[in-house]
Structure 1
Amino acid sequence: MNSKLEQLYWLNNTNSESIGTDVNELILTGLENNMELNYEDIYEIQKKSTRFTNEVITPEIVTQFIKKVIADDVDVLVPWNVYGELIDAIANHVKNSTLVSKSDMLAKITNLMLRDDKHHIETGDPLRVLDEYGEDKFDLICSFPPLGYKVKTEINNQKFNDELNHLLILKSSYLLREKGQIAFVVTENFFKREKANSILPILEKQGVHLDAAFYLPPGTLTNTGIGTYLVILSHTKFNDLFISELKSENLDQVVESWKNRKESKILQNGKLVECESFTSYVKIEKELEIKRLVNKSNLNTVPFTNLEISINSLSRNENDTFEHHVNTIYLPSIGLSDVVENQQEMKIKPQNYYQIILNDNVNASYLAIWFNTELGLLVRESLMSGSVIKRINKKSLLRTSVYLPEKSIQQRILNIQSKIDEFRNELDSIENKAWNYPNSYEELNKRVEKLNREEGFSEWIDTLPFPLASILYKYYAIKDVTSKKEFLLHFFEAFAQFQVVLMLSAYSKNGSNLDEKYIYNIDASKITRATFGTWVHIGENMSKKLRQLLEDSPEQCLRLFQHKRKGFIKMISSKQIYNILRKTNGYRNDWKGHGGVESTTEAKNRLVLLENELHSLRKVIGDVNEGYQLIQPGTGHFSFGLYHCNCKLLKGTRNTFIEKNIEVLNGLDIDNLYLLEEDAYEPLVLLPFIRLMPSPNTQVNACYFYNRLDQDGVRMVSYYFDQDADVKIQDNSIQSIIDNLNIN
């Protein structure tokens, strides 16, 4: 049989189509039939099962962390036990353990999985079972209860209607020894302090305080796409809260920084923040990115209260509308639809907007456009709160700042925008007349020539990664029409492959925890002998999945690519790009299929068609590549928790590359290429389908793209280096990568 899950279905006399089968029944039957199951098997079974369950196994990163930080010879309480996985991970450090299982079935599974006599299991409602412990105390209290599960109960004569994990923390806290620690997985809701019976302030009053909040990125948990936190509480009150992101790659560094309460240079490895003001790791992440962009642009920080006269919102009544005011903007309270100047431009219901009446310190037109820029969108995202539906509340809006140039400069930027709009109107007019009055083509051509700026195109080529820019520059520099057409076809094919390699690299590195609905299963045999059409087909299907992930779980999508900003991901998953690539692949197939000698006139006509698609592609790509670097690592060393590396920046058309020293979280392999977001510390390693290497005959460094697997090696082609355009290399890693694609 192919998997442990299939074996379990077989033991239970059912099949994988039977979604009603309880996962716990499957696991218990397997164990009772002496089937060898470990916790990794159970994790995979839960992930693949079609039946949702609240009994989710503790993420491995959490058990790894607790194993690293636990003292020896401790008494442990697990108020919400699933399968005993927490105790199994730390068994060598445990003196005695008490686990509370909500059902006999979970207790039986735990006993069969642990197989030792150092643990004691209680069965029943954990909130009631904990009442029976009286004077018993524990050194470590740890659990991973179901998230977002609300319960009504009474603790110490105070009524609560709160999340189960919050209530378990509160009830367990009375059983914590003086030097003990509590470790629980929670959502952002745990840090809220507004309500009279919020759990965190109550804990603080009884002498239990937050020590650390370790962010678990979206995808860490099997049953949710939201980010969560492993919080550590103790009787010790610190002046600040230690926060970081918890991943296997930085676990040792984070533990060291936390134990020493020492900040790292980068947020992922640790930062100390004010405990009472902390609400979200992602919020701080975005605030740091905002600060970087503001410093780079040299903008003024302006408190929002210095600009607004009033902020109004509508009731839920569908017929309500805002009263008209001059110098006003409308800002969405949910989502990231455009901020607009009038109600007629609204894309969502008016009830989901704030009407912001502005004073004379700012121009409404400028502020509306600014809120829709990269920086403005980051500010809006940083204001959002909520575990499921994130929204901006009025209080956070009044506390924020915007980042603007002087008012005189604002007007000059609006003047530039006005000229850009004039250019667009002129082009629209030319386009309209070209199709309605084609015989006036000579006059229209003169109007187009006045607007044409060749130098702008060459500057744009230099923003592209070298593997693409090198091909496009050959098209740009050469005069022969047929050759220009061929280089453009090569460029589109290389671009299609480059897109797929980026997506495959992200999924290969960080996609193991993604829900299957976001993964496109690739037929590996298609890549064995890939064509232009193959890359377009794979890319089109992967981009659909990627767009869905970006919509459903933007934070998870950003971490898939190890990015902080969405622009690049939006570009590589763009529908427009695949419309262009489908069309250019269609041209190529038609032209190759008809064969025969190509006349000069025909070559010119074909070139025009391809150039039209190139202009469309440029419009979609824009300047998004400006914020990213394709790098080839050189020598490096570790220092102060970071890897310092001398790298070549593979950008633009020149193959004498600029060298730059960078700092990243982990070591880099000199045989790989990496994509690094500007001012980030986690480059994405690219799969070796694209190589920068010495050509076999000339030993000149050239860029090669994977073409196909042959019996005698891997065929790689260069689309611009004609001295050694077609080479064979021996690389078993490519064969292995292609074979593993079917596993996804």
Structure 2
Amino acid sequence: MGSIEEIWNLVDQLHGRGERITLQDLIREVKSQGLFLSVDVLAELAWRTERSEILVPPPLVRKTISALLKHKIYRKVLDPWDRLGGLIQLVSPESTRLSILYNSFYQELFSVVEGNTDISFVMGNPLEFLSKNDSHWDLIVSCPPFAMRRDKIILQAGDSIETVSDSMELLLLLQACTRLSAEGTALFVVASRFFGSNSFRHLSSIGIHLEAIVHFPPGTFAPYTDISTYLIVLRQIDVPKMTFLAEIGSEDDIQPVIRNMTSSKQGRILEHGTFVDPHSFRSFKAIQLAFDINQLSRRMNLEPIPLTSIIKEINQSNIKLEEGFEDLPDALYLPIVGKSDAVTHLSDIRLKPRNYVQIVMKSEKTSAEYMARFFSSELGRLIRDYLLRGGTIPLSSLKESEVYLPSVETQIKMINAQNEITELRAMLHTIEQQLWKKPNDVDNTLKSLKNINRETGFGVWVETLPFPLASILWRYDAESDVRMKKEHLFHFFEAMAQFNTMLLLSGLKSDSSLLVSQRETVFANFNKESLYRSTFGTWIVLGERIAKLIRTQMGNRAEGSRESCLKAFRSSRPDLIDTLSSKKTFEVLKRTADFRNKWKGHGGIENGQEAQKRLSALETELAVLRQLMIDTYEGYQIIRPENGVLKSGIYHMQVSSLMGTRQIFKKISIQTTLMPDSDKLYLYFEGNPEPLELLPFIKFKSGPSSEENACYFYNSVEKSGVRWVSYHFDKEAEFLEADAVLEQTLKSLI
């Protein structure tokens, strides 16, 4: 077999002769030298030379199919749209195997792949072959191209004959199913458009049931496409039943999913198996949204009610009206596209009227004000996302939707509370305006601020932060000496830069394909010694680069880009990721780093007045950061595993929650699909069964008493070991020890 190095030597030879290289030229050169290529090598060559179509599913898909076919012998096997033999090779050589190759180019590719010599093939249009050939097959397995041209076939279902029009790859699936043996199985890799297609609707007429759906997340087929893809399992069945649904995002998911599929068993987590009505199934994302809605509503202790039970009418915009709608009482205006808030006044709509619907509420059931807030809340936005069809919310879906409301009395209390919050915001705004209009009246401004009780609010916010950061702010808040308070804030901002970048880098590293593809961008001008000394500036530069990449991924409209980014951070909510990668967050960190360099490098002697001035500058930046990070960590925790047991494939773990300022860490119970390492720290999003493993740039040391539990930040790699520093624990402010795990992590990054 020819290795990838040998093949690229051939490419260099052809380049040396000044020849333009096509994939076909390369294949002919390979054949002339008597080489055979693996499926993966040939697929990579095709992508590098011509950015060609998908010639073979990626390894994750093939390993899933291989696990599904393991230990089974099929007498006759067909791939009706083959190119490289990548799927039919997974079947035992004891089977009679036939591949249909659409053209001579596919035949050339097929002929140079190792392992294909024992596989028979025919060339031609597979639709014509299937319509004329009466053979029946025990297994049909294929991954035809996505989104082919439209075509039509004549389908005979019992005594009826009709013409079916659809995309060619879906017609191929339908036609192939007419050639299944009585006990036969068809495995096809399809895009989500299959589930709403004519071909899907006609399967039941020929006695074919959709037995299982396995979702592969967006990005699985990268770099060819970022769309969601599905492996579907089709069989003949007399009595229709529910369809098994699961998601495989990594090789670790394959065995639990296959085990649950073959035993028709519900998985412990959604991704490992559930059952759905195949005729109402739209996408795995819709099922996931429904699951998230159910989980969140249960945590809120709210029951679903039909939207139609609390409304009088739903109106679409009218182009004859200047504002698009008649101004009716008890009405709200809900965007049916985009992410804008629902509003209660026509003057507040931000999009064109045609992008809204008017919903008139029954005032005895709820209020327009409450429902506008509801549809703009986390739960309301999940419901809006669930109702989307092709980027818009159809009126029919809205009328069939459910909402989750507390009692009318509770709604009134919530609106009153919201009004108080709004009033507080207005008071703060007024005080801020007064401060800058009347600077000499600052004493009265400070008195007004005391009434708003800022100190209590600050303490509550600090308790929402991870312990590595909260413990430093506790030292700052408890300190009375101005210079010491200033030093504590410098420590906080430096720790914040390192902590933020650690979280971003941990998420990036968890998606190996993203890290590999962006490594040169992220670590440009870095060498392996660059991180051997932890500096404020280094963490900011590295963090800014990753943040820019994350913002691009989160803002990418290509299907799956945002979802794959959320999956990398083990979250279904973007709030933490948005804050970590925010430009404003890094602007604060850069300004404080500039302060440190300016004041420590060229600041001269610092008197009491200058120290207070500098502290005020840092406190201003802290106020900006606090505003950016309000509720950022809600639903998230930094955890350290303690112990656990395995039950039915799920690890039931007791972990320490390293949140807030207290050194006595709260113990909580979680369920995970992977056994976490007790020597590592994780970012845990409530309800997600797979916490994000954090890179080891932070270390906890437990003392003989809880008061001596301490957090240390990585500082430098030295000849005698790794230096760690604590910004809150004076008794042992730093220590030096050998740390092979940390050093190996640094080497693996660059």
Whether TM-score is above 0.5 comes out as yes
Structure 1 residue 725: Cα displacement: 2.5
Structure 1 residue 610: Cα displacement: 1.3
Number of equivalences: 729
Report the secondary structure of 2:53's partner residue: coil
2:158 corresponding residue in structure 1:
none
Whole-angstrom CA distance in 2 between matches of 1:407 and 1:545: 45
Amino acid aligned to 2:12: W
Structure 1 residue 541: Cα displacement: 2.2
Please say if 1:415 is aligned against 2:429: no
Shift of the 654–318 alpha-carbon distance from structure 1 to 2, 3 Å rule, reads same
Structure 1 residue 573: Cα displacement: 1.8
Please say if 1:177 is aligned against 2:177: no
The residue correspondences of 1:417-496 to structure 2 (distance < 5 A) are: 417-496=418-497
- Equivalent of 2:336 in 326, 333, 339: 333
Residue pair 1:150, 1:161 contacting (<8 A) in 2 also: no
Whole-angstrom CA distance in 2 between matches of 1:4 and 1:319: 70
1:277 corresponding residue in structure 2:
280
Alpha carbon RMSD of aligned pairs, Å?
Answer: 2.9
Residue pair 1:24, 1:105 contacting (<8 A) in 2 also: yes
Whole-angstrom CA distance in 2 between matches of 1:40 and 1:728: 46
Structure 2, unaligned runs of 5 or more = 156-160
Shift of the 622–93 alpha-carbon distance from structure 1 to 2, 3 Å rule, reads farther
Whole-angstrom CA distance in 1 between matches of 2:281 and 2:206: 20
TM-score, length of structure 1 as denominator length? 0.91
Shift of the 54–43 alpha-carbon distance from structure 1 to 2, 3 Å rule, reads closer
- Equivalent of 2:367 in 363, 370, 374: 363
Please say if 1:684 is aligned against 2:688: no
Please say if 1:128 is aligned against 2:128: yes
Structure 1 residue 147: Cα displacement: 1.9
Cα deviation per residue 1:19-44 (whole Å; 9 max; x = unaligned)?
x9655654664565466743343455
Whole-angstrom CA distance in 1 between matches of 2:343 and 2:672: 40
Cα deviation per residue 1:94-151 (whole Å; 9 max; x = unaligned)?
512211222322222222213443211222333233334x221222111112223342
Report the secondary structure of 2:634's partner residue: helix
Shift of the 531–204 alpha-carbon distance from structure 1 to 2, 3 Å rule, reads same
Shift of the 708–518 alpha-carbon distance from structure 1 to 2, 3 Å rule, reads closer
Report the secondary structure of 2:113's partner residue: helix
Structure 1 residue 316: Cα displacement: 9.1
Report the secondary structure of 1:576's partner residue: helix
Shift of the 298–635 alpha-carbon distance from structure 1 to 2, 3 Å rule, reads closer
Cα deviation per residue 1:436-491 (whole Å; 9 max; x = unaligned)?
22111111111112112322222221211111111121112222211111111111
2:114 corresponding residue in structure 1:
114
Whole-angstrom CA distance in 1 between matches of 2:28 and 2:425: 68
Please say if 1:724 is aligned against 2:725: no
Structure 1 residue 238: Cα displacement: 4.6
The residue correspondences of 1:658-669 to structure 2 (distance < 5 A) are: 658-669=666-677
Shift of the 11–362 alpha-carbon distance from structure 1 to 2, 3 Å rule, reads farther
Please say if 1:377 is aligned against 2:377: no
Structure 1 residue 694: Cα displacement: 5.0
Whole-angstrom CA distance in 1 between matches of 2:259 and 2:275: 14
Residue pair 2:710, 2:726 contacting (<8 A) in 1 also: yes
Shift of the 51–362 alpha-carbon distance from structure 1 to 2, 3 Å rule, reads farther
Report the secondary structure of 1:724's partner residue: coil
Whole-angstrom CA distance in 1 between matches of 2:380 and 2:7: 48
Report the secondary structure of 1:85's partner residue: coil
Whole-angstrom CA distance in 2 between matches of 1:378 and 1:537: 35
Please say if 1:165 is aligned against 2:164: no
Cα deviation per residue 1:491-512 (whole Å; 9 max; x = unaligned)?
1111111111112111212241
Report the secondary structure of 2:597's partner residue: helix
Shift of the 439–51 alpha-carbon distance from structure 1 to 2, 3 Å rule, reads farther
Report the secondary structure of 1:733's partner residue: helix
2:102 corresponding residue in structure 1:
102
Please say if 1:303 is aligned against 2:302: no
Whole-angstrom CA distance in 2 between matches of 1:338 and 1:50: 47
Structure 1 residue 664: Cα displacement: 0.5
The residue correspondences of 1:518-537 to structure 2 (distance < 5 A) are: 520-523=521-524, 524-525=526-527, 526-537=530-541
Whole-angstrom CA distance in 1 between matches of 2:377 and 2:695: 32
- Equivalent of 1:265 in 265, 268, 275: 268
Whole-angstrom CA distance in 1 between matches of 2:106 and 2:531: 45
The residue correspondences of 1:202-241 to structure 2 (distance < 5 A) are: 202-222=202-222, 223-236=224-237, 237-241=239-243
1:599 corresponding residue in structure 2:
607
Please say if 1:628 is aligned against 2:605: no
Shift of the 522–122 alpha-carbon distance from structure 1 to 2, 3 Å rule, reads same
- Equivalent of 2:293 in 275, 290, 293: 290
Whole-angstrom CA distance in 1 between matches of 2:92 and 2:707: 56
Residue pair 1:185, 1:231 contacting (<8 A) in 2 also: yes
Residue pair 2:218, 2:228 contacting (<8 A) in 1 also: yes
Amino acid aligned to 1:456: G
Please say if 1:578 is aligned against 2:582: no
Shift of the 309–24 alpha-carbon distance from structure 1 to 2, 3 Å rule, reads farther
Shift of the 8–680 alpha-carbon distance from structure 1 to 2, 3 Å rule, reads farther
Give the percent of matched residue pairs that are identical in Structure 1 and Structure 2. 34
Residue pair 1:6, 1:15 contacting (<8 A) in 2 also: no
Amino acid aligned to 1:435: W
TM-score, length of structure 2 as denominator length? 0.91
Residue pair 1:11, 1:30 contacting (<8 A) in 2 also: no
Whole-angstrom CA distance in 1 between matches of 2:4 and 2:745: 20
Shift of the 438–284 alpha-carbon distance from structure 1 to 2, 3 Å rule, reads same
Amino acid aligned to 2:370: Y
Structure 1 residue 607: Cα displacement: 1.3
Cα deviation per residue 1:411-443 (whole Å; 9 max; x = unaligned)?
222222222222222211221122222111111
Shift of the 11–559 alpha-carbon distance from structure 1 to 2, 3 Å rule, reads farther
Residue pair 2:715, 2:725 contacting (<8 A) in 1 also: yes
Amino acid aligned to 2:219: G
Amino acid aligned to 1:13: H
- Equivalent of 1:538 in 542, 566, 576: 542
